[in-house]
Amino acid sequence: MGPKAATSEKPAATEEPELTDGFHLVIDALKLNGIETIYGVPGIPITDLGRMAQADGLRVISFRHEQNAGNAAAIAGYLTKKPGICLTVSAPGFLNGLTALANATTNCFPMILISGSSEREIVDLQQGDYEEMDQLAIAKPLCKAAFRVLHAADIGIGVARAIRAAVSGRPGGVYLDLPAKLLSQTMNAVAGKKSLVKVIDAAPDQIPAKHAVQRALDVLKNAKRPLIIFGKGASYAQADDAIRELVEKSGIPFLPMSMAKGLLPDTHPQCAGAARSTVLKDSDVVMLIGARLNWLLSHGKGKTWGSAPKKFIQIDIEPREMDSNIEIAAPLVGDIGSCVTALLEGMDSTWQAPPAEWTSAIKAKKDENIAKMAPRLANTKSPMDFHGALGALRNVIKERPDTILVNEGANTLDLARGVIDMYQPRKRLDVGTWGIMGIGTSFAIAAAIETGKPVLAVEGDSAFGFCGMEVETICRYQLPVCIVIFNNDGIYRGTDTDPTGRDPATTVFVKGSRYDKMMEAFGGVGVNVESPAELKRAVDEALNSGKPTLINAVIDPAAGTESGRIGNLNPQSVLKKK
Ligand code: ADP
Ligand code: TZD
Ligand code: MG
């Protein structure tokens, strides 16, 4: 597979052995381990790596900025349980990719950031090499593991260690540093081939201890008001059938975290999504499955959780997650598939569904909240408010449940999460644990590439601004992506003013911008819409045609609230109100 040794005009006295080099060994190592796609941005020293990978049958998706390539790799990892690969140049390219690597680690998405780097000898003596930077040292605190390969013969092991580190245990980001010199290093092709490592069982099952399963069942059995909370770890695990069986056999109401929506349909009779505050407050036993008790769940304490005593059961692959915020009465450490299966096996014929008093109280609250919301979602105001626009998009997903929904923004995110029901696992991708802006276009690209499904990306105008240039990438690869910008002229609202009257306020953008023109600039379809009916029609058309489309949805600039639903986290100056 490697290149032949340079052929000379004169007949050679003895035949030279076939050689391979660092470029080919990296590609062969990735291919051997089932990697099919690389996301990246080319340049010195990895331009040829991308070219050769493409020539060798790998799909190489070139982005306009490494952060977007990195985010695409991370979400590809989440969707496939294989590490997503991001390839960048040294120093600035590496740093651009680093935010995505850190975000992947924070969200437990498996990805590998592979960056070319400058000459070790020069970097270590700080002699000013082209794009000089000690990348390995910088990456280390932001990922699960970081490796550097100095010898071509170690590429196989380096790639294998990176893959295993990314996907085993709690998944996360891994950095792999490839100095320029390594890539052109040659070695005997046969020895090179032998040096490659196929990673066997990269993410082995982690079977929970029997007594831990029994302890969890005992806590669950004694519950009067049990609740299951699914996090994105549960959707990542791809144990969909076992999870559904557990929910339905146990009869316990469940609440999905944002990216776990659709693991079971939001319309499932046991889904407590529309009664969220009630179930968090009133439950007495909560079983967390692949969800952390971080800020998104108010750390398991305070007003959100009410005053009634509560016991927690937590299923997680990471033992150190237990008691991270509060006491876990029944820690169940293992992979979600194995843990859920073990619980099912332990639920014998004496298992009783939760008291009807609990389930009917939840149903009553759900019905009440859904009825309250219905007229707001049906409103036809123009310019639209968030609810009117989301009412239209909610119907789109209802009619096309296999569409992947990407979502970012503040109001655009928080309200869409509540309004748009999801029906299938891993169909909702969003800003995750950090609430990071700028994942929209890259998640949409990777979702389309990895699944072949149509993608609907619903983004605030600010959120889109962080990653908007990738519309060119969407057009270039002709991906079935429809982006809807909720254009309210700014961050949260478009109505702020600078009290001095000098400049625009810090949270507002150019009024009446036409983001749809950006898509047209690259040959895609751009549409401007001002009513829910127009919005629905335009999205339907985009998804029917599969053509790259950007819909500029004009939203009343006064409709949003500061920080969306997390205004309580926003520090306020007491002086400001003077
Ligand atoms: P959410 O934001 O949806 O609440 P989190 O990202 O906080 O979800 O939590 C995901 C959890 O899932 C992490 O603690 C991670 O260790 C865990 N996890 C990921 N994959 C698995 C798996 N296959 N088995 C068990 N736990 C997993
Ligand atoms: N930078 C990054 C990387 N992530 C962030 N979350 C922020 C800045 C701060 N931020 C938010 O938390 S939401 C948001 C920013 C800048 C944009 C909200 O405006 P939007 O959404 O237009 O996307 P709405 O619908 O107008 O609220
Ligand atoms: Mg906005």
Judge whether residue 67 has pLDDT over 80.
yes
Q: What is the pLDDT of residue 10?
A: 59
Q: Which atom from ligand 1 is nearest to the alpha carbon of 316?
A: 26
Q: What is the pLDDT of residue 2?
A: 46
Given the DSSP bridges, would you call strands 37-40 and 84-88 parallel, antiparallel or unpaired? parallel
Closest C-alpha among 260, 256, 262, 252 to residue 284? 252
Is there an atom of ligand 1 within 6 Å of 321 CB? yes
Judge whether residue 93 has pLDDT over 60.
yes
Judge whether residue 99 has pLDDT over 50.
yes
SS3 content of the chain, % helix, strand, coil (to 5): 45, 15, 40
299 to each of 291, 295, 296, 302, 423, how far by Cα in Å? 11, 5, 7, 8, 28
Closest C-alpha among 87, 166, 180 to residue 133? 180
CB 228 within 8 A of CB 253: yes
Distance separating alpha carbons of residues 261 and 197, to the nearest angstrom:
37
Distance separating alpha carbons of residues 350 and 340, to the nearest angstrom:
18
From the CA of 324, how far away is ligand 1's center (Å)? 13
For the chain, which domains are there?
A: 19-195 (3.40.50.970), 210-363 (3.40.50.1220), 378-563 (3.40.50.970)
Q: SS3 for 188-201, per residue?
A: EHHHHHHHCCCCCC
Distance separating alpha carbons of residues 453 and 441, to the nearest angstrom:
15
Q: What is the pLDDT of residue 573?
A: 87
Residue minimizing CA distance to atom 6 of ligand 2: 436
Is there an atom of ligand 1 within 6 Å of 291 CB? yes
Q: What is the pLDDT of residue 575?
A: 86
Q: What is the pLDDT of residue 116?
A: 98
Q: Which residues surround ligand 3, an ion (CB under 5 A)?
A: 460-461, 488
Q: What is the pLDDT of residue 576?
A: 66
Q: Which residues contact 382 (CB under 8 A, 6 or more apart)?
A: 530, 531, 554
Residue with token string 């076992």: 242
Q: What is the pLDDT of residue 14?
A: 73
Distance separating alpha carbons of residues 238 and 221, to the nearest angstrom:
26
Taking only the tens place, the pLDDT of each residue in 424-459 is 999 999 999 999 999 999 999 999 999 999 999 999
Strand partners, 175: 113, 146
Taking only the tens place, the pLDDT of each residue in 506-531 is 999 999 999 999 999 999 999 999 99
Distance separating alpha carbons of residues 150 and 152, to the nearest angstrom:
7
Reported as a pLDDT band with limits 50, 70 and 90, residue 578 is very low
Judge whether residue 577 has pLDDT over 70.
no
Taking only the tens place, the pLDDT of each residue in 307-344 is 989 999 999 999 999 999 999 999 999 999 999 999 99
From the CA of 87, how far away is ligand 3's center (Å)? 31
Taking only the tens place, the pLDDT of each residue in 382-433 is 999 999 999 999 999 999 999 999 999 999 999 999 999 999 999 999 999 9
Taking every pair of C-alpha atoms in the chain, what is the biggest distance, in angstroms? Answer: 92
Residue minimizing CA distance to atom 20 of ligand 1: 233
Mean of pLDDT over the chain: 96
From the CA of 232, how far away is ligand 1's center (Å)? 6
Mean pLDDT of 356-374: 98
From the CA of 93, how far away is ligand 3's center (Å)? 29
Whether the bond between 226 and the residue before it is cis, its omega within 30 degrees of 0, is: no
Reported as a pLDDT band with limits 50, 70 and 90, residue 9 is low
From the CA of 529, how far away is ligand 3's center (Å)? 16
